[in-house]
């Protein structure tokens, strides 16, 4: 097995929205905001090579946004997949599967490419793209709270062009011999959390927006973007019970500092961030 971090770029989001009810005087020490109260976040994806499978998890924001979008979210240092893949001797044609944890623009935007004529097509022409039916329905028939995050040009063409596949939302369903999913409902409907079994017996967990950064480990640190914040807190509790055993490595998609880390339960019975882990040494 080979694992690769694909750093697709960075973007900015309102600090208050990212930290929810936590006071600014506290969260601003973690990720200092700019003059517009915006904090910079990573757009970090994971590529797994195992045998003939080349599996990408999430795709960043992509390149097809208009000026209005850019003025809101300031995407920058955006990288092209062909160039990133060339660095590890792969091409977009080599990707066999793309797992999209959920259809918010910062996770699925790079799944579709727009050419100079405005035509939309899958970025990875030979890949199957994976979601689940409840989430697709939720994203397609969106609500006012998430309408700015679910941009149909990012995911509807996948279905229209016949490359979108659905995963059963039965808890813990296996994707293949080394990946299984949990499904969580606090951030959005049926977001997928991939657990990757590593050859050394440990598990790498792609946290998506259940835990966007290591700053979000404390229980009250829940994003205002979450549609069911109290459900998120319950899901975090259950998640930490599972991953605080010393056998799980957490992969942070949006953390501006850390790629991986771990969580433990301290003497007071609270789950806390334990330590940063070197991605190059997790296998």
- Give residue limits of the domains in the chain: 2-281
What is the edge-to-edge ordering of all strands in the sheet holding 203-206?
A: 179-184, 191-197, 203-206, 248-251, 260-265, 271-277
pLDDT at 85 over 80: yes
Task: Place 283 in a pLDDT band, splitting at 50, 70 and 90.
Answer: confident
Distance CA 173, CA 183 (A): 9
Residue 49 near residue 2 (C-beta atoms within 8 A) = yes
Segment 235-254 mean pLDDT: 98
Instruction: Record the pTM.
Output: 0.96
For residue 116, what pLDDT is reported? 85
CATH entry 3.60.15.10 includes domain 2-281: yes
């Amino acid at each position: 097995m080979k694992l690769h971090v694909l750093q697709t770029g960075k973007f900015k989001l309102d600090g208050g929205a990212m930290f929810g009810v936590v006071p600014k005087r506290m969260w601003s020490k973690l990720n200092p905001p700019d003059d517009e109260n915006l904090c910079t976040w990573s757009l970090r994806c994971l590529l797994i090579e195992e045998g003939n499978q080349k599996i990408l998890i999430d795709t960043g924001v992509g390149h097809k946004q208009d000026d209005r979008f850019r003025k809101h979210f300031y995407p920058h240092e955006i990288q092209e997949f062909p160039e990133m893949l060339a660095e590890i001797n792969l091409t977009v044609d080599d990707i066999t599967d793309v797992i999209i944890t959920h259809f918010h623009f910062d996770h699925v935007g790079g799944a579709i490419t727009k050419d100079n004529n405005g035509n939309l097509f899958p970025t990875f022409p030979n890949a199957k793209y994976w979601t689940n039916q409840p989430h697709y329905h939720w994203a397609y028939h969106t609500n006012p709270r998430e309408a700015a995050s679910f941009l149909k040009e990012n995911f509807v063409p996948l279905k229209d062009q016949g490359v979108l596949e659905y995963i059963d939302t039965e808890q813990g369903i296996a994707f293949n011999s080394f990946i299984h999913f949990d499904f969580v409902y606090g951030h959005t409907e049926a977001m997928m959390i991939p657990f990757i079994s590593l050859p050394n017996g440990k598990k790498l967990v792609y946290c998506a927006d259940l835990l966007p950064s290591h700053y979000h480990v404390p229980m009250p640190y829940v994003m205002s973007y979450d549609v069911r914040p109290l459900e998120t807190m319950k899901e975090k509790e259950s998640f930490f019970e599972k991953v605080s055993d010393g056998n799980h490595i957490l992969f942070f998609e949006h953390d501006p500092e850390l790629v991986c880390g771990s969580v433990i339960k301290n003497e007071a019975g609270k789950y806390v961030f334990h330590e940063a882990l070197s991605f190059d040494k997790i296998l």
